[in-house]
Amino acid sequence: MLDNSYLIMGLDGLSRAHGRNYFADGHLAASVIAAYYLCHENSLEEHTQNVIKSRIDHELGNEALFIPAPSEAADAALLEQLLNTLSAGIGDLREVGHNIIFGAAALKAFRQCPDAITPFRVEGICKLIGDFTTTQNVVIEDDDGVPGIVDESALIEFIFNEYLRSVSLYAGYGQGWAGHLLTIGHAVIELSRLGYPDLAARAHNAYRMYIKTMRRGPKETDRHIPDHPASTLTALEYDYWKQRKSVRSGLGHTFKYAYSFYNLFSKLRDPILRERCRAESHKIF
């Protein structure tokens, strides 16, 4: 089963990603953290966790990205450095919001593993967050319909309605927009849950920019990507992970999409909306 060592593995990967392909390797590292929480927040059965664990061990176990960080004394005060680095850019839409996604994942893992708050990890993750400098300039309107972070239930319902809109809008173009609609929205909510309302409010502004961009739909020049075939299996089941092919290039999203979907889905109250989203979930998994 996945234990806290996988959170440490993910943090170690995040702390080294800046010196490599920060975008791709940041995805891989964050996916390990997501896999841990997918398993534990949904109480996945042991044999299901084990097949997920095997996939991580097989595909990432020998990666230099995940070499254990140097042994150092932990210092919770170092988190201030990470919070300041996040604050510097979190209000802008930077590279599809991955500064928000990776930052929230790190903060959540550090909250659970305070002994991992060491200079090497914090400084490395700050460098990773600092690498996200490309800003997408989007003017947002007051009437975009995005609920604020104070009403989490309303925001989650909005996220899933937009998810359905995106799945339809981008049919035949891949479902990266729908997947990131979930992961960024989830990251904004997690920042609020972790007790960082100011960061969450600024990240919410960037999320509104993402929503406006997503609503424009695909461009004529966008690459066509076949949608996933219909399936009754879910990412909470052993058979799903057992039959899923090991595709290294997709690992960065495999766990993150499922983690965010089910974390938010567990709080979605509308039964009709729940059923509609459940029926469309195979398109991002």
How much is the pLDDT for 61?
A: 87
How does residue 246 score in pLDDT terms, banded at 50, 70 and 90? low
Buried b (16+ CB within 10 A) or exposed e, 214-235: beeeeeeeeeeeeeeeeeebbb
| Torsion angle in degrees (nearest 10) through CA of 285, 232, 236, 185 | 40
Its pTM stands at: 0.96
Domain boundaries, the chain: 1-285
If residue 109 lies in a helix (H) or strand (E), which one and from where to where?
A: helix 98-112
How does residue 252 score in pLDDT terms, banded at 50, 70 and 90? confident
pLDDT, tens digit, 9 for 90 and up, residues 108-139: 999 999 999 999 999 999 999 999 998 887 88
Q: Are 17 and 33 spatial neighbours (Cβ–Cβ below 8 Å)?
A: no
Sign of CA dihedral 55, 56, 61, 65: positive
pLDDT, tens digit, 9 for 90 and up, residues 140-149: 877 899 999 9
Q: CA-to-CA distance for 26 and 3, rounded, in angstroms?
A: 21
Would you list the DSSP string of 84-106? Answer: HHHHHHTTS-BGGGHHHHHHHHH
Would you list the DSSP string of 49-71? Answer: HHHHHHHHHHHHTT-GGGPPPPP
